[in-house]
Amino acid sequence: MIWKRNPKRHDVAEPRLKPTLDKQRPARADEDDPVRRLRYQAAVHVGSIYAGHSLRAGFLTEATNNRASIFKMQDVSQHKSMQALSEYVRRAELFDDHAGAQFL
């Protein structure tokens, strides 16, 4: 982060590089390209709604529900241990063969 002085507002911290959705090349904060500005605004909006963990957890839960291979899931999620990955699988399988399944 760098500190910039803005005469209209108080001092603000702004990142030197702003994220892009395609991760090809970081967008500079001072570029006046309207497409780049829209992409940055979209990325900021998505980042305010979803955290990296929620996307990862959602993917793993859905993969488990669709009976994906745990090895493929580990490859995508880049978990270093099966123990960490198994937490997602166990949570997704809580209601498989559940005694109260007809009520759920």
pLDDT tens for each residue of 2-39: 445 555 555 445 555 555 555 555 555 555 777 777 77
pLDDT, position 35: 79
Residue 23 region by backbone torsions, left for phi larger than 0, else alpha for psi between -120 and 50, else beta: left
Which residue's structure tokens are 């998505």?
A: 46
pLDDT for the residue 78: 87
The pair of structure tokens assigned to 65 is 């529900």
Letter for the amino acid at 100? G
Residues in the chain: 104
Per-residue tokens: 46: 């998505």
* Residue 1 pLDDT grade (very low, low, confident, very high; cuts 50, 70, 90): very low
> Over the stretch 79-93, which tens digit does the pLDDT of each residue have?
888 888 887 776 666
Q: In a 10 Å sphere around its CB, with 0-12 CB exposed, 13-18 middle and 19+ buried, how is residue 12 labelled?
A: exposed
Residue 46 has pLDDT above 70, yes or no: no
* pTM of the predicted model as reported, rounded to 2 decimal places: 0.43
Contact 85, 60 (CB under 8 A): yes
